[in-house]
Chain A
Amino acid sequence: MQIKKLKWLALAGVTAVAALIAACGGSSQSPLTAQQKIKHVFVITLENKNYDDTFGTSTQNPYMTGTLKPMGAHLTQYFGTGHVSLDNYIAMISGQPSTKDTQMDCMSYNDFVQTGTTSDGLPIGSGCVYPAAVKTLPDQLKAKGLSWKGYMEDMGNDPTREASTCGHPAIGAVDKTQSPQAPSAAVPAGDQYAARHNPFVYFHSIIDSPDCGSNVVALSKLDADLASISSTANFTFITPNLCNDGHDGDGTGTAGKGCVDGKAGGLKSADDFLKVWVPKILNSPAYKQDGLLIINFDESTNYAMTQTVDPSTKKVSINVAYHGEACCGQQIGPNITSPTTLTFPVSASMDYKLVFENFGGDRTGAILISPFIKPGTVSSTPYNHYSLLKSLEDIFVPGQYLGYANQAGLVAFGSDIYTN
């Protein structure tokens, strides 16, 4: 009860602060016309690419950079909010910061055990699957009578691995979707669904509801849902499989450096995925009427690697460090510390030390396309996943900001982006 009261108080405060911000300059000063007009948002989240690679040196993604980027807004200073994956997805739909478990992708699908609440209403604790009291954008949409759907490529390809709707491990179980599954006689397409790239299944408010079964579905359902405005959700979140989101493979087609289904992966497969799905979205009646397409990345891979040898034991340590650059006044949250070093034993004579120098997710960049965005728009305003959530909330539930989307002074997408 106490938590609920605090939440409503926070919400009221948030609304007031939002009104003040709206009245006092910055990009939030922009008129809300575009945000008010947009009724259908599509998010496609790709994986693990540096801004300088994606929008600089890479030759693997000409569709993304040569076709899509000029069609809308290029956000040159868009940042992830953590490493190594899952914490970014969770931030996008709930504003929750990293926990020690989500920071390491929740190899076991354990409940988040709450031990307290911060002064700004964030749950303190550890674990993966948040209690029902921790709300998400889908909860906000439902409360307002709006619709949402998550489309997960490959989910349910192997029904023994995960269900085809709301696919997730049992609470407390090892997550068998951490590694992709190559094709077999029984599962000819293989199964590269990864629960850790599906943010919806980390909230009891969603998985304990029948909504999860009806709204978190396989990507193969999207074609039919795009056919009419009435069948297209107000908020659509699309997760390609581990190959098509660029997580696996280096994109070169080199033997042994591709995906488990034989594709090249990397930005090459991500680009191929966008070539298929972006035209379908842009040609859908819902998008044409009032749509916004967001293509972002969960995190960057800005890192350094060194090797040390213990002179007495001769044990070799490979030290890999995420720089963890953050933007936008990002806060670390109550559930992790920084810097942090995690050790992974490899053998009797070697280990890896994973160093998080800072708690950000580094710079990735993003692309937004909409009838409300002029082609060729470029914004250098810093944004991160919390900014994204706040921007989505500005569209669907103005003034109601969850978690760190409610961070004081956080800038949402404004007139720098909605240029049309």
Chain B
Amino acid sequence: MNSSSRKRLIFTWPLAAVTAAMALLLAACGPQQGVTTNASSAPPTPSSAQMAQLGRLVFFDPALSASGKMACATCHDPQHAYGPANGLAAQLGGPQLDVPGLRAVPSLRYALNRTPRWFKEFQSNPIERAIDTDSVPTGGLTRDGRFDTLHEQARAPLFAANEMANASPQAVVAKLKQAAYADEFRRLFGDDIFEHPDRTMDGMLAALERFQLDDPSFHPYTSKYDRVLQGKAELSASEQRGLALFADPSKGNCASCHLSAPGADGSAPLFTDFTFANLGLPRNPRIAANADAGYFDLGLCGPERKDQAANRKWCGMFKTPTLRNVAARKVFMHNGVFTDLADAVRFYATRDSDAARWYPRKNGKLERYNDLPPELRDNIDVLDAPLNRRAGEKPALNEAEVQDIVQFLRTLTDEDVRRL
């Protein structure tokens, strides 16, 4: 067991205790407030609040995994903006918690309820369709956007071999039946709920969805930048410069995807537009699957996602994540290749102007864009600033400007989030 695994275990057991305690509290809540029933045996209709409460119990329950030690909250830790509590490029799962994941765990804060279903606009006019270079695939949940709703998405980690690794829905239902909050399931869905595995699974997934959409802990808006937007704080000089560079289309140009301006109704920005991009990241040797030189995580076109595999020009595209709480993370980008936030910013600025800094050499030759097979490297964005600089050209950002952007990004961390 390595130190990271130990940390996770230590974290997991208190979760189980919390879960059990919450279940007891709920069971003692008295009358079935909000549960609508009729005289017949029709299943009750739980309220959204009841579903969210139940979803919380499920979210924090490590007993629902094959290992008995991995809850949703194990990787999506509320104290870390529902992101990872460690610096692993990808987390370990499976029955023995020794099966490595394939991608860095994203934060679940802010984006979930505003993530549109995955789409790529199909314009009926063939000319507009041909030149719609600004209209890129958008939306969907997870880094490759393969789930349209949280209800669908929540099923995946329960059965993924490198996550909770349950063998079947029946296995999950059996665990729910033994859970401290099993009576809550019966109260919300009917006494016979566990006799209907499909309904039980459906109820559990709906409860998880409701919790993640509705619980205020997923969108607290307590960062310094939020206070600035509310007129309750001011950015420092460096943070102000950073924001300007972040938004300037000829400098950082970050805000073209990580939207930083308030919405039309004055709502706080989410720092993502949910679009997909192909950044040409360096390959990360700390992703175990990358030991196989023939393995490539192509994002939108596979191998995790199956339905867009034929669209080769989308290979290598991943969804733009929110940058809220990014400074509290320890690994960055979909493959966790960067462990320093400043490096993540520097990469954009100098990817091609100083490629030797980012890519390895093999037999004396620089292996640029080495996380994509050579035949797909033409997909990589070389047009949008700051990724449009060629070898030897001046980067769009100098080091001081990189540091200013990092300072600004630090203002996006919520008050309650622990820094790693």
Asked if B263 is at the interface (CB within 8 A of a chain A CB), the reply is yes
What size tier do the contact residues of chain A reach? 35 or more
Among A47, A160, A190, A260, contact of B267 (Cβ-Cβ < 8 Å): A160
Asked if B96 is at the interface (CB within 8 A of a chain A CB), the reply is no
| Nearest B residue (CB) for A107 | B134
Binds A, one of B23-31, B120-128, B224-232, B404-412: B120-128
Within B104-142, the residues touching A (CB, 8 Å) are 112-128, 130-131, 133-135, 138-139
Within A268-291, the residues touching B (CB, 8 Å) are none
A292 vs chain B, min Cβ distance (A)? 28
A179 near B150 (CB under 8 angstroms)?
A: no
CA distance A260 to B113 in the complex (A): 17
Knowing A182-B116, A186-B113, the reply to whether A257 touches B133 (Cβ < 8 A) is: no
Which chain B residues border A349 with CB–CB below 8 Å?
378
A250 near B133 (CB under 8 angstroms)?
A: no
Which chain B residues border A107 with CB–CB below 8 Å?
134
B265 near A354 (CB under 8 angstroms)?
A: no
CA distance A187 to B213 in the complex (A): 12
CB contacts between A and B, total, < 8 Å = 126
Which chain A residues border B113 with CB–CB below 8 Å?
184-186
Asked if B235 is at the interface (CB within 8 A of a chain A CB), the reply is no
Knowing A250-B122, A320-B131, the reply to whether A348 touches B263 (Cβ < 8 A) is: no
Question: How many B residues, CB 8 Å from partner?
Answer: 39
A48 vs chain B, min Cβ distance (A)? 4
CA distance A251 to B267 in the complex (A): 35
Knowing A184-B115, A248-B121, A346-B133, the reply to whether A162 touches B264 (Cβ < 8 A) is: yes
B138 near A179 (CB under 8 angstroms)?
A: yes
B61 vs chain A, min Cβ distance (A)? 23
- Chain A, residues 249-262, CB within 8 Å of chain B (1/0): the string is 11100001111100
Which chain A residues border B20 with CB–CB below 8 Å?
none
CA distance A342 to B135 in the complex (A): 18
CA distance A259 to B121 in the complex (A): 7
Interface centre among A49, A162, A181, A246 (most CB of B within 10 A): A181
Asked if B67 is at the interface (CB within 8 A of a chain A CB), the reply is no
A48 near B383 (CB under 8 angstroms)?
A: no
Asked if A159 is at the interface (CB within 8 A of a chain B CB), the reply is yes
| Nearest A residue (CB) for B249 | A174
- Chain A, residues 211-226, CB within 8 Å of chain B (1/0): the string is 0000000000000000
CA distance A45 to B290 in the complex (A): 53
A260 near B121 (CB under 8 angstroms)?
A: yes
Which chain B residues border A48 with CB–CB below 8 Å?
123-125, 128
A364 vs chain B, min Cβ distance (A)? 12
| Nearest A residue (CB) for B313 | A347
Asked if A403 is at the interface (CB within 8 A of a chain B CB), the reply is no
A347 near B264 (CB under 8 angstroms)?
A: no
Knowing A345-B383, A348-B378, the reply to whether A185 touches B112 (Cβ < 8 A) is: yes
Which chain B residues border A178 with CB–CB below 8 Å?
134-135
B127 near A247 (CB under 8 angstroms)?
A: no
Knowing A160-B264, A256-B122, A258-B122, the reply to whether A182 touches B378 (Cβ < 8 A) is: no
Asked if B379 is at the interface (CB within 8 A of a chain A CB), the reply is yes
B131 near A352 (CB under 8 angstroms)?
A: yes
Which chain A residues border B379 with CB–CB below 8 Å?
347
Which chain A residues border B131 with CB–CB below 8 Å?
320, 344, 352, 354
Residues of A at the B interface (CB closer than 8 Å) are 47-49, 84, 107, 159-163, 167, 173-174, 176, 178-187, 190, 242, 246-251, 256-260, 265-266, 301, 303, 305, 318, 320, 322, 344-350, 352, 354
23 A-B pairs, CB-CB below 8 angstroms?
Answer: A47-B124, A49-B124, A84-B128, A107-B134, A160-B263, A161-B264, A162-B264, A179-B134, A182-B138, A183-B116, A190-B117, A242-B121, A247-B125, A248-B124, A249-B122, A260-B117, A260-B121, A265-B124, A320-B130, A320-B131, A344-B131, A348-B382, A350-B378
Add 13 more A-B contacts to A187-B116, A347-B383 (CB < 8 A). Answer: A48-B128, A159-B265, A161-B263, A161-B264, A178-B135, A179-B134, A184-B117, A187-B114, A247-B124, A250-B124, A259-B122, A320-B130, A344-B131
List of 4 A-B pairs having minimum Cβ-Cβ separation, nearest first: A160-B263, A182-B116, A159-B265, A182-B119
